[in-house]
């Protein structure tokens, strides 16, 4: 491959999580020219420049301004967009990988000529389509994210066809950034002192552990463990004020003072970052600093948590957590699930000062690398495992086995059989319901595969009858996914696969459909076995 374009049109954290993919593409295709497209608001990317050759900023803010200024006349905006698209060149890319799954990103992808597209795009017939098994999985699993088996870092890499290495996330820290951090510490008398950083903000209120609790946590930590530094942007300053009003110990407020690189340099010098799920959390991971991630709201650490086995996650133990996609919360109960005292015990555990604690209304998780791919998954560090833990691990293995998963290139792994932490996870009633649903999935998809397989050998009248029958089975499978969440991703994946078939020849369509139903049946069987085992 000579020209590769990766579209990462999400936020800063997602851009950082794209680093291992870009590194892998560089490794696998050393002579290729790699371009990374981000939204213009994130054009000062924190990624090391060696990971790509060109950074392309999608001019979202300019287009929005042009449309707002001249809402009656969209011609200037169209001209600006055309200029941007033309600027990408008329020679098709060899490979375009869209890591976002919004309609907007699909439209952008559809405007870029490529020999091969992976991810969401809009086809010539105006229907949305997803190419590539792992990107299909990302979209299919989004609505049952409480059962998400994979971290986005691994999914992004596999979508690009590259295996896991051992380097993790990366962030660009320049010598000037390091000098700034040194100066910051020296001028405050913190040189050589252990530091514990805290990030109080998050993109939405639902994701924020209260600033008052952060303050109580800081008060509960013995001074010898570390000096407290508050980090974040200017948006976090109001939270800092709340924190400082409650703090009874010395605290250094750095919010709004550091650039992204300077923040990374400061975090690099910290023992620990205590944070919600945020961009700075990924910066800390990339800077090699251990993280305690306090999850709440719609966040699923299994998907976006701190990427690495040394980090610790606390997630609320509430039936409604994580918030279902598109739902609105009116109680925010999960934000107050974790007490400051329990958080202090978790911090001590993360610092290696005590064993993993059992906490009230929440669970402590820790990452582990799993064989054979080397992916990261989170399992309980203490306390009992739940049926959802078991489902996550079992489904993870099924997808890993049945999709095209690149072999890992480096790194030690925990054996997939070493599931001591999951022993005892049980809920016989729900498990029986899942097994019933899985049996139904297997039966319906096998029957559909068989029926589709006969399509080219029968008369047109019979073809119509078979199509109707298969359509009925398809709809039944989708209904099963709505009723039983453990099979939702399985049948939604099938839905996207069927919907993305881009052929008009009956024999080709029949073959691809049969393969999709067959694969669903195999996955259903494997999952049933995994859960039974």
* Contact residues for other proteins, defined by CB under 8 A: 60, 63-64, 67, 71-74, 77-78, 81-82, 85, 102-104, 107-108, 110-111, 122-126, 210, 212-213, 320, 324, 327-328, 330-333, 335-336, 468-469, 471-473, 475-476, 478-479, 482-483
Straight-line distance from the first to the last Cα atom of the chain, in angstroms, rounded to the nearest whole number:
43
Q: Rounded to the nearest whole angstrom, what is the least distance from the CB of residue 125 to other proteins in the complex?
A: 7
Residue 352's contacts (CB-CB under 8 Å, 6 or more residues apart) are none
Q: Least distance (Å) from other proteins to the CB of residue 443?
A: 13
* Cα dist from 319 to 97, 315, 334, 434, whole Å: 35, 12, 10, 18
- Cβ proximity to other proteins: between 200 and 351 the closer is 200
Least Å from the CB of residue 300 to other proteins: 17
Nearest residue (CB) to other proteins, 289 versus 500: 500
Find the shortest distance in angstroms from Cβ 81 to other proteins: 5
CB of 317 to other proteins, least distance (A): 17
Least distance to other proteins, CB of residue 292, Å: 18
> Which residue matches tokens 């998963």?
405
Which CB, 216 or 315, lies closer to other proteins?
A: 216
DSSP annotation of 24 reads: H
Q: Where are the beta strands (DSSP E) in 454-497?
A: none
- Select 184 or 493, whichever has its Cβ closest to other proteins: 493
Q: Is 401 or 485 the residue whose CB approaches other proteins more closely?
A: 485
- Distance in angstroms (rounded) separating the CA atoms of residues 121 and 108: 8
User: In terms of CB distance, is 12 or 376 closer to other proteins?
Assistant: 12
- For tokens 């052929």, the residue is 503
Question: Least CB distance from residue 40 to other proteins, whole Å?
Answer: 12
Interatomic CA distance for residues 433 and 439, integer angstroms: 10
- The CB-of-333 to other proteins minimum distance in angstroms stands at 8
State which residue, 129 or 527, has the beta carbon closest to other proteins. Answer: 129
User: What is the distance between the alpha carbons of residues 364 and 354, in angstroms, rounded to a whole number?
Assistant: 14
Any residues with CB less than 8 A from the CB of 392 and at least 6 apart, and which? Answer: 147, 148, 149, 302, 377
Which CB, 33 or 212, lies closer to other proteins? 212
CA distance 157 to 23: 9
For residue 124, the surrounding DSSP H or E stretch is none
Say how far apart CA 268 and CA 282 lie, in whole Å.
Answer: 12
The burial class, CB within 10 Å (0-12 / 13-18 / 19+), for 91 is exposed
Give me the least distance between CB of 437 and other proteins, in Å please: 12
**Which of 336, 386 has the CB closer to other proteins?**
336
What phi and psi values does residue 198 have, to the nearest 5 degrees? -130, 135
Please state the closest distance from residue 339 (CB atom) to other proteins, in A: 10
**Pairing verdict, β 312-316 and 290-294:** parallel
Computed on alpha carbons and rounded to an integer, the radius of gyration of the chain in Å comes to 25
d(CA 164, CA 412): 11
CB of 405 to other proteins, least distance (A): 31
Nearer to other proteins, 63 or 313 (CB): 63
Task: Enumerate the H helices of 29-151 as residue ranges.
Answer: 60-69, 75-87, 103-110, 133-140
Nearest alpha-carbon partner for 207 in 64, 316, 308, 133: 316
Q: Which is nearer to other proteins, 156 or 474 (CB)?
A: 474
- Residue 274 DSSP one-character state: E
Write the DSSP symbol of residue 143.
G
Tokens of 228: 């407290």
């Amino acid at each position: 491959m000579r020209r590769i374009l990766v579209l990462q049109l999400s936020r800063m954290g997602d851009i950082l999580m794209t680093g291992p993919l870009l590194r892998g593409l560089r490794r696998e295709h050393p002579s290729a020219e790699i371009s990374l497209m981000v939204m213009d608001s994130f054009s000062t990317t924190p990624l090391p420049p060696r990971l790509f050759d060109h950074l392309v900023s999608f001019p979202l803010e300019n287009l929005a301004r042009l449309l707002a200024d001249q809402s009656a006349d969209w011609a200037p905006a169209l001209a600006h967009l055309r200029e941007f698209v033309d600027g990408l060149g008329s020679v098709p890319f060899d490979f375009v990988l869209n890591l976002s799954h919004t309609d907007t990103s699909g439209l952008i992808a559809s405007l870029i000529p490529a020999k091969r597209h992976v991810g969401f795009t809009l086809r010539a017939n105006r229907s949305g389509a997803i190419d590539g098994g792992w990107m299909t999985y990302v979209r299919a699993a989004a609505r049952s994210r409480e059962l998400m088996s994979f971290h986005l870092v691994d999914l992004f890499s596999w979508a690009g066809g590259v295996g896991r290495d051992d380097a993790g996330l990366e962030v660009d820290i320049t010598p000037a950034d390091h000098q700034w951090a040194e100066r910051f510490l020296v001028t405050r008398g913190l040189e050589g002192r252990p530091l514990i950083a805290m990030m109080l903000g998050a993109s939405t209120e639902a994701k924020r552990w209260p600033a008052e609790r952060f303050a109580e946590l800081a008060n509960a930590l013995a001074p010898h463990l570390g000096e407290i530094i508050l980090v974040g942007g200017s948006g976090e300053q109001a939270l800092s004020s709340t924190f400082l009003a409650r703090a009874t110990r010395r605290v250094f407020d750095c919010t709004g003072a550091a650039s992204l690189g300077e923040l990374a340099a400061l975090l690099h010098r910290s023992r620990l970052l205590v944070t919600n799920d945020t961009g700075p959390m990924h910066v800390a991971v990339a800077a090699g600093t251990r993280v305690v991630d306090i999850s709440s709201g719609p966040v699923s650490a299994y998907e976006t948590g701190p990427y690495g086995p040394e980090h610790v996650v606390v997630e609320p133990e509430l039936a409604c957590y994580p918030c279902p996609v598109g739902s609105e919360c009116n109680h925010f109960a999960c934000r107050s699930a974790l007490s400051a005292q329990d958080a202090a015990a978790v911090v001590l555990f993360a610092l290696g000062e005590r064993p993993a604690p059992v906490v009230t209304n929440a669970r402590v998780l820790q990452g582990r690398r799993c064989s054979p791919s080397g992916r990261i998954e989170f399992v309980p560090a203490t306390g009992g495992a739940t049926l959802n833990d078991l489902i996550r691990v079992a489904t993870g293995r099924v997808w890993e086995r049945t999709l095209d998963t690149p072999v890992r290139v480096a790194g030690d792994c925990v054996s997939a059989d070493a599931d001591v932490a999951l022993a005892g996870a049980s809920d016989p009633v729900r498990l029986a319901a899942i097994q019933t649903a899985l049996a139904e999935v297997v039966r319906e998809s096998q029957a559909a595969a068989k029926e589709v397989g006969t399509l080219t050998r029968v008369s047109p009248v019979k073809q119509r009858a078979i199509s109707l029958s298969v359509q009925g089975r398809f709809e039944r499978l989708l209904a099963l996914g709505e009723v039983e969440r453990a099979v939702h991703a399985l049948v939604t994946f099938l839905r996207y696969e069927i919907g993305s078939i881009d052929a008009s020849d009956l024999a080709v369509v029949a073959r691809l459909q049969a393969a999709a139903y067959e694969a669903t049946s195999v996955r259903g069987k494997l999952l049933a076995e995994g859960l039974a085992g």
